[in-house]
Amino acid sequence: MREPLAWRYLRLPEAAIPCFGPPAAGPESADFFTPMNPFLGILLCVLSTIGFTLMGAMVRYIGDRVPVGELVFARNFVVLATLALVLGVRGKLIDAFRTKNFRGHLFRSFANIASIFCNFSGLARIPLAEATAIGFATPLFTVVLAATFLGETVRLWRWSAVLVGFVGVLVMLSPHFGGAAHGTQAAFGAVLVLISALLIAVVTAQIRHLSKTETTPTLLLYYSLFATIASLGTLYWGWVLPSPGDFLALVSIGVFGGMAQTLITESLRYAPASVVAPFGYASMLWSTLIGYVWLGELPAAIVFAGAALVIGSGLFVIWREHQLGLGRTRAKETPAPPVGPPVG
């Protein structure tokens, strides 16, 4: 059964960034035969949300002191170095560079790089929990892109859920444009995070296309390489020499992000995406707690109201696509009726 597109956003960062470690699927993955263990899959997914939240908290913590290009470099260089080391030890580094769609890797990487720049820039301007909630719009954008550009059939129920979700996004953004918010910088940050969510949906669609011919290590290697080079190019506009504490935070951004993506990839080995996907919303809880306890910030109540609409619509989309997937499976398993008049 082909996995519905809206589930695939969970395989991405910021809720889409490349992971390091062994591939979750594909022709070279021996773990294709890993026994199902839903409890372990859910646990790994929840742990990944903690990792992603800690990464975002680090970005939020030093985002006003360290240029965004330097933050993106730290995020991707750690992943690239680890991935190259793992593939080198396995003797598969050269194989990972072989590709049948170099242009596709360029387009995917461009969108992914733009997304992480927008996401990190937004995190430096708005509370962690608010950025997390706005980022939940990714699966809604994914449904729209799937219907618009990939020709997937999206019927009334899912369109209704998407509409409710976008109403929730508008609710979250409304304080920034109603004259009672944190100012122009916060409004700009909120818009950047929303753009990032859209770009992640674009990346999801592109990865779906690339995965037909490319292995997981190849997808990860090319993105990490291009992202590292692109972020290194921002050195011209000025980086800063971080303090020992900020340097540790920079390294932590890469470590937490890479570990989190590895955990979410591993979770999909042990449980179907439809099982683990709803637990990805646990990041709203962690971001609220960490933001309040460590960063001393708490979004306005209206942000939580909008987040509830977005999360509810996202959960409905996941449930609905799971039902459609089951229906397609049953249709394939049902024998075709005989053609022509009965015999005998």
CA separation for the pair 285, 104 (Å, rounded): 36
* Residue range 28-53, pLDDT digits in tens: 443 444 577 888 989 999 999 999 99
**pLDDT at residue number 179:** 54
Q: How far apart are CA 99 and CA 158, in angstroms?
A: 36
* Alpha-carbon span 292 to 314, nearest angstrom: 25
Average pLDDT, the chain: 82
pLDDT at position 159 over 70: yes
Higher pLDDT, 344 or 145: 145
- Residues of the chain above pLDDT 70, percent: 82
DSSP annotation of 294 reads T
Q: Write down the pTM of the prediction.
A: 0.82
278-327 residue pLDDT tens: 899 999 999 999 999 999 998 889 999 999 999 999 888 888 777 766 55
Going by C-beta distance under 8 Å and a sequence separation of 6 or more, which residues neighbour residue 63? 71, 120, 123, 124, 125
Tokens 């933050």 label which residue?
71
Q: pLDDT-based confidence at 195, cuts 50/70/90?
A: very high
Alpha helices, DSSP H only, in the chain? 38-62, 68-90, 93-97, 102-123, 128-135, 138-149, 156-173, 184-210, 216-232, 244-270, 273-276, 283-293, 301-333
2 C-beta neighbours (distance < 10 Å), count: 7
Instruction: Quote the pLDDT of residue 325.
Output: 65
* pLDDT on residue 265: 78
Q: Please give the pLDDT value at position 204.
A: 82
As given in the structure block, the two tokens for residue 169 are: 């996004």
pLDDT of residue 224: 93
- Say if residue 337's pLDDT is above 60: no
pLDDT tens-digit readout, 234-267:
999 889 999 999 999 999 999 999 899 888 878 8
Mean pLDDT, residues 50-76: 96
pLDDT for 1: 41
Of 344, 115, 106, 89, nearest to 222 by C-alpha is 106
pLDDT at 181 exceeding the cut of 50: no
Question: With bands split at pLDDT 50, 70 and 90, how would you rate the model's confidence at 22?
Answer: very low
* Structure tokens belonging to residue 337: 């009726």
How far from 147 is each of 79, 144, 210, CA to CA, in Å? 33, 5, 19
